[in-house]
Amino acid sequence: MKRKLIGPFSQLLPLSHLPLKGSLKDEDIKIITDGGIIVNEARIERVGKFKDLNDGTIPLERVNQPTVAIPGLIDAHTHICYAGSRAQDYALRNSGKTYLEIAKSGGGIWDTVTKTRNASIEHLEDLIIARGKKMLLQGITTLEVKSGYGLSVPEELKMLKAIKAVAPKLKQNLVTTCLAAHMLPKDYKGNGYEYLDEIATHLLPTLQVENLAQRVDAFVEESAFSPEEITPYLKKAKALGFDITVHADQFTTGGSKVGVALGAISIDHLEASTQKEIEHIAKSNTVAVALPGASLGLGCKFTPARKLLDAGAVLAIASDYNPGSAPMGNLMVQASILGTFEKLSNAEILAALTYRAAAALNLKFYGSLAVGYYADLALYPTDDYREITYQQGQMLPHGIIKHGEKIVF
> Any contact of residue 112 with ligand NIG (CB under 6 A)?
yes
Q: Measured from the CB of residue 298, what is the shortest distance to ligand NIG in angstroms?
A: 8
> Any contact of residue 108 with ligand NIG (CB under 6 A)?
yes
Q: Measured from the CB of residue 247, what is the shortest distance to Fe ion in angstroms?
A: 5
Q: First CA to last CA across the chain, in angstroms?
A: 21
The entry of Fe ion, ligand NIG, none near residue 219 (CB within 5 to 8 angstroms by kind) is ligand NIG
Instruction: Please state, in angstroms and as integers, the Cα–Cα distance from residue 117 to each residue in 45, 103, 153, 157, 322, following that order.
Output: 46, 18, 12, 11, 16
Restricting to residues 317-356, name those near Fe ion by CB under 5 A.
Answer: 320
Cβ proximity to Fe ion: between 249 and 320 the closer is 320
Q: How far apart are CA 359 and CA 71, in angstroms?
A: 14
Cβ proximity to ligand NIG: between 82 and 380 the closer is 82
The entry of Fe ion, ligand NIG, none near residue 250 (CB within 5 to 8 angstroms by kind) is ligand NIG
**Contact by Cβ (8 Å): 20, 74:** no
| Residue range at the interface with ligand NIG (CB under 6 A); choices 106-114, 117-125, 253-261, 273-281 | 106-114
Of 6, 63, 109, 170, the residue at the interface with ligand NIG (CB under 6 A) is: 109
| Residue range at the interface with ligand NIG (CB under 6 A); choices 8-16, 155-163, 315-323, 357-365 | 315-323
> Any contact of residue 247 with ligand NIG (CB under 6 A)?
yes
For ligand NIG (CB under 6 A), the number of binding residues is 14
Cβ proximity to Fe ion: between 320 and 376 the closer is 320
Cβ proximity to Fe ion: between 38 and 181 the closer is 181
> Any contact of residue 324 with ligand NIG (CB under 6 A)?
yes
Of 110, 219, 321, 366, the residue at the interface with ligand NIG (CB under 6 A) is: 219
Cβ proximity to ligand NIG: between 131 and 247 the closer is 247
Of 67, 141, 152, 250, the residue at the interface with ligand NIG (CB under 6 A) is: 250
Binding site for ligand NIG (CB under 6 A): 79, 108-109, 112, 219, 247, 250, 294, 320, 322-326
